[in-house]
């Protein structure tokens, strides 16, 4: 049983989705129980897998037992291989956990935002989790592409199901997403032609073994294609055009699932491609792309931050912050030293949690007040203390103040920047922190004080008519629990950064050791 955990992890949401579509098409009441059940099993399987990895090291799992055939040249893999190491075991816990906690929020919104499409939504929700987990767990480049498409297609639908403007946002997303996926596939194709295998580990070994292979232009093109495809999918500036509207106009529960996970999983894939497939030696010793890519990342950080500053719509602001955060991670990864990659990998976890926390809190606030602009925060500390507490934790983490996880990811990224001598990256990180401070403290000010908002003339929290029922706005219990868990996660990931960073260091170390 224990050694089947990697498949159980993938199959639970998949069977849940298929089961819903076959058996419960006309029973909307079945949607949420199945989602909860399937995701709970997934989380459990992921936790058990993580424990196993921590105890016994990396797990490789050959799907359907398609073992390496000894008679085949170089003993290359035939079937699909799952590989779970210290880092992606963590991400594998994170994805279903966020989906499960988000389901607590989804439960209250499903019937409202997707009336008549509950089952459809639940199926897509579960399939998206399958796709995201699959991209992290698989060690096969083509399988990765397939799962990338699964997650893309489901996310198009999950966004498109939303309000009227969502259709247009989805169309943009489909266009960009398809181009991105095609780039990725092309890159994988080039690799397959040259190396003759799709197994990531085998490709890596082949590249390491032959300097002739490494010198080939087509491998370089493959690297370029794969990176470009992933950047499109993760929304690295200036390829971010699809991102803000897609997350903003999607149903709120989609936003709070996709914003933390989708771009972050793409970063995980990028890190795997860099560390496990091409290898750091190849990328940083033979291709000298670091200055260019770190430069792009710097621009992304600044652009994201300043666009966010210009937004008056709360969710639009958060979406542009994601663009900046993608810049953090891409830049950190391409610093090319251990601290930088550790920072990028750690930031995947911390950014996922803080984005989740912020999106949940903002969704709760928007729903209660019916406003999308910053003015929705008027008097929020008094009216919605829990939501604002969660928002505060998330915001402090975005600014990068200790002891939240955002501080420690900046810590590793900055150390990486200093060690690599990339001072412009260091400067951009600091500037972005300061811009985030301005952004969020502007909101705190609105939430805390008597503020005259231009649109509605003079506004005074204390001058509001005393309405005993309106003082404490009721938020559904599930949402409150979800926000508390998310805020706790932000703090815990920060305080536990030592063990997490050491897992990541182990992962990088293993990947580098394989290299001769």
Q: Taking the complex as a whole, how short is the minimal distance between the CB of residue 404 and other proteins, in angstroms? A: 10
Tally of residues, the chain: 516
Contacts of other proteins in 5-24 (CB under 8 A):
none
The nearest distance, CB 447 to other proteins, in angstroms, is 11
CB nearer to other proteins: pick between 168 and 471: 471
Provide CB contacts within 8 A for 195, sequence distance 6+. Answer: 202, 203, 206, 207, 213
Check binding of 401 to other proteins (CB under 8 A).
yes
DSSP state of 461: G
**Residue 84 DSSP SS3:** strand
Which of 19, 241, 402, 476 touches other proteins by CB under 8 A?
402
Asked if 375 contacts 463 with a C-beta cutoff of 8 angstroms, the reply is: no
Do residues 109 and 162 lie in contact, with contact meaning Cβ atoms separated by under 8 Å? no
Binding mask 344-383 for other proteins (x = CB under 8 A): ----------------------------------------
What residue has token string 């993938």? 10
Task: Supply the minimum distance, in Å, between the C-beta of residue 428 and other proteins.
Answer: 12
Q: How many CB atoms are located within 10 Å of the residue 59 CB?
A: 18
Using CB under 8 A as the binding rule, whether residue 448 contacts other proteins is answered as yes
Determine if 396 is a binding residue for other proteins (CB under 8 A).
yes
Q: How far is the CB of 400 from other proteins (least distance, A)?
A: 7
Bridge partners (DSSP) listed for residue 138: 82
CA distance 510 to 516: 12
> With respect to other proteins, which residue has the nearer C-beta, 187 or 416?
416
Helix (H) or strand (E) holding 171, with range, is helix 166-195
Helix (H) or strand (E) holding 60: strand 59-62
Nearer CB in complex with other proteins: 44/418:
418
Q: What are phi and psi of 96, to 5 degrees?
A: -65, -30
Nearest to 244 by CA among 357, 166, 179: 166
CB of 371 or CB of 419, closer to other proteins: 419
- CA end-to-end span of the chain, whole Å? 35
Closer by beta carbon to other proteins, 105 or else 407? 407
Distance CA 352, CA 259 (A): 8
Query: Would you count residue 434 as binding other proteins (CB under 8 A)?
Result: yes
Binding mask 167-206 for other proteins (x = CB under 8 A): ----------------------------------------
- Nearest Cα to Cα of residue 198 among 180, 222, 217: 222
Whether 514 and 205 have beta carbons less than 8 Å apart is answered as yes
Choose the binding region for other proteins from 97-105, 141-149, 437-445, 477-485 (rule: CB under 8 A). Answer: 437-445
Is residue 388 within 8 Å of 361, Cβ to Cβ?
yes
168 versus 450: smaller Cβ distance to other proteins: 450
Of these, 149, 286, 313, 419, which contacts other proteins (CB under 8 A)?
419
Q: How far apart are CA 95 and CA 266, in angstroms?
A: 12
- How many CB atoms within 10 Å of residue 430? 14
Q: How far is the CB of 448 from other proteins (least distance, A)?
A: 6
- Per CB under 8 A, contacts with other proteins among 472-511 are 495, 497-498, 501
Q: Which is nearer to other proteins, 4 or 502 (CB)?
A: 502
Q: Name which position in 51, 163, 168, 450 contacts other proteins (CB under 8 A).
A: 450
Dist. CA 404–CA 396, nearest whole Å = 7
3-state secondary structure of 313: strand
Least separation in angstroms between residue 408's CB and other proteins is: 7
C-alpha closest to that of 144 among 277, 258, 42, 259: 277
List Cβ neighbours of 135 (8 Å cut-off, separation of 6 or more): 144, 147, 148, 151, 265, 268, 269
- 3-class secondary structure for 220-235? HHHHHHHHHHHHHHHC
Q: Does 433 bind other proteins (CB under 8 A)?
A: yes
Contact 282, 214 (CB under 8 A): yes
How far apart are CB 389 and other proteins at their closest, in Å? 13
Binding flag, residue 462, other proteins (CB under 8 A) = yes
- Is 422 one of the binding residues for other proteins (CB under 8 A)? no
426 contacts other proteins (rule: CB under 8 A):
yes
Is residue 424 involved in binding other proteins (CB under 8 A)?
Answer: no
Q: How far is the CB of 297 from other proteins (least distance, A)?
A: 18
Q: Select 312 or 450, whichever has its Cβ closest to other proteins.
A: 450
Q: How far is the CB of 313 from other proteins (least distance, A)?
A: 22
Based on the shown chain and the rule CB under 8 A, indicate whether residue 453 belongs to the binding site for other proteins: no
Q: Quick one: 194 or 375, whose CB is closer to other proteins?
A: 375
Q: Least separation, in Å, of the C-beta of 495 and other proteins?
A: 8
> CA 108, CA 90: separation in Å to the nearest integer?
28
Among 24-32, 35-43, 48-56, 412-420, the segment contacting other proteins (CB under 8 A):
412-420
Residues that bind other proteins (CB under 8 A): 396, 399-403, 408, 411, 414-415, 418-419, 426, 430, 433-434, 437-438, 441, 444-445, 448-451, 462, 495, 497-498, 501
């Amino acid at each position: 049983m224990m050694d089947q955990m990697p498949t159980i992890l993938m199959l639970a949401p998949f069977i849940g989705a298929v089961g819903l579509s076959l058996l419960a098409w006309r029973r909307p009441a079945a949607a949420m129980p199945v989602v909860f059940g399937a995701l709970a099993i997934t989380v459990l399987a992921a936790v058990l897998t993580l424990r196993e990895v921590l105890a016994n090291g990396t797990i490789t799992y050959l799907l359907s037992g398609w073992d390496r055939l000894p008679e085949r040249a170089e003993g290359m893999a035939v079937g699909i291989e799952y590989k779970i190491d210290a880092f992606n075991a963590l991400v594998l816990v994170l994805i279903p956990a966020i989906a499960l906690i988000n389901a607590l929020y989804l439960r209250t919104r499903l019937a409202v935002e997707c009336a008549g499409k509950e089952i459809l939504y639940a199926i897509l929700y579960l399939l998206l989790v399958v796709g995201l987990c699959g991209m992290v767990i698989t060690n096969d480049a083509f399988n990765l592409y397939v799962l990338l498409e699964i997650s893309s297609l489901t996310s198009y639908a999950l966004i498109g199901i939303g309000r009227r403007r969502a259709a247009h946002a989805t169309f943009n997303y489909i266009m960009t997403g398809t181009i991105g996926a095609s780039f990725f596939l092309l890159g994988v194709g080039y690799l397959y032609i040259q190396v003759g295998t799709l197994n990531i580990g085998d490709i890596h070994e082949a590249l390491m073994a032959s300097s002739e292979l490494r010198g080939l232009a087509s491998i370089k093109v493959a690297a370029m294609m794969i990176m470009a495809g992933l950047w499109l999918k993760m929304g690295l500036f200036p390829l971010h055009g699809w991102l803000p509207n897609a997350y903003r106009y999607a149903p709120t529960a989609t936003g709070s699932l996709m914003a933390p996970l989708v771009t972050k999983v793409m970063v995980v894939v990028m890190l795997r491609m860099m560390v496990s497939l091409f290898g750091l030696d190849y990328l940083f010793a033979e291709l000298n792309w670091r200055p260019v890519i770190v430069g792009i990342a710097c621009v992304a950080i600044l652009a994201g931050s300043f666009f966010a500053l210009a937004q008056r719509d709360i969710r639009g602001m958060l979406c542009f912050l994601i663009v900046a955060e993608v810049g953090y991670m891409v830049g950190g990864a391409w610093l090319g030293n251990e601290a930088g990659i550790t920072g990028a990998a750690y930031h995947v976890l911390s950014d996922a949690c803080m984005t989740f926390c912020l999106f949940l809190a903002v969704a709760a606030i928007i729903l209660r007040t019916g406003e999308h602009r910053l003015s929705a925060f008027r008097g929020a500390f008094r009216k919605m203390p829990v939501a604002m507490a969660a928002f505060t934790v998330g915001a402090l983490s975005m600014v990068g103040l200790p002891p939240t996880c955002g501080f420690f990811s900046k810590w590793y990224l900055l150390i990486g920047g200093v060690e690599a001598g990339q001072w412009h990256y260091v400067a951009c990180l600091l500037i972005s922190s300061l811009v985030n401070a301005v952004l969020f403290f502007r909101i705190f000010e609105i939430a805390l004080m008597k503020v005259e908002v231009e649109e509605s003339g003079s506004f005074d929290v204390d001058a509001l008519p005393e309405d005993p029922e309106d003082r404490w706005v009721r938020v559904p219990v599930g949402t409150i629990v979800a926000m508390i868990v998310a805020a706790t996660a932000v703090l815990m990931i920060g305080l536990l950064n030592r063990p997490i960073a050491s897992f990541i260091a182990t992962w990088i170390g293993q990947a580098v050791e394989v290299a001769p």
